[in-house]
Structure 1
Amino acid sequence: MRGSTTLPPFQKFLEANRAIVYRFLTVAVGPQEADDVFQETFIAALRAYPRVREADKLDRWILAIASRKAIDHHRGAGRRPMPIDDPPDQPVHDPPVRYADDPLWAAVRSLPPRQRVAVVH
């Protein structure tokens, strides 16, 4: 019967498809993110593996999973916080009060609080 070939053990399947999936993901998401998306791909494949019906199409099946995981990765990229470096340690000093006598700042201080906030921001 077509498509009813016996499934290889998952470890054997992983070894047989590791290189092609990793190359695909390196191009799809970049070398820095390929490892994480590769792991997500094979975790999803491991969970779904017992339900696979057509063992002769496993290579297309795993690439379809990798493709969906790459798309999910790109969708989530906008929601992930970007890491930033800590600012250099600098002593905290109160800024000098240069504008105490400035007529502009005197006018700002005379505004109602809500308007003052709007001007200052």
Structure 2
Amino acid sequence: MQQHTIYGARILGDAPRLQMAREVALHHHEKWDGSGYPAGLQGEAISLAGRIVALADIYDALRNKRSYKPAFSHQEACRIITVGDGRVQPGHFDPAVLATFQRIASHLEEIYETLKD
């Protein structure tokens, strides 16, 4: 499973027009505190696009039902991201990205509800 980031980056290749997509594929599971994968990057060594998508990916995963968990409400997803739950911790995210998430969270709920189907 942890190799999907590397495979995605390889598939996208080195074309300059796909550089941001490659960064997202490669970095979206890296964590600000260095505990992510595939390279265990920390802080600003993670691309900005990867840092943003990492938080968006967690929000999306929390909002959607999985075989191992129910879908969470917007409020519960925000609480987990900002306070933590044992698996997700606020220290996993770039503090500036997390602050922006908190500032625009109500807009994200509207967007999610509009696009969820």
TM-score, length of structure 1 as denominator length: 0.26
With CA pairs under 8 Å and 6+ residues apart, which has the higher RCO, 1 or 2? 1
TM-score by length of 2: 0.26
Greater Rg by CA:
1
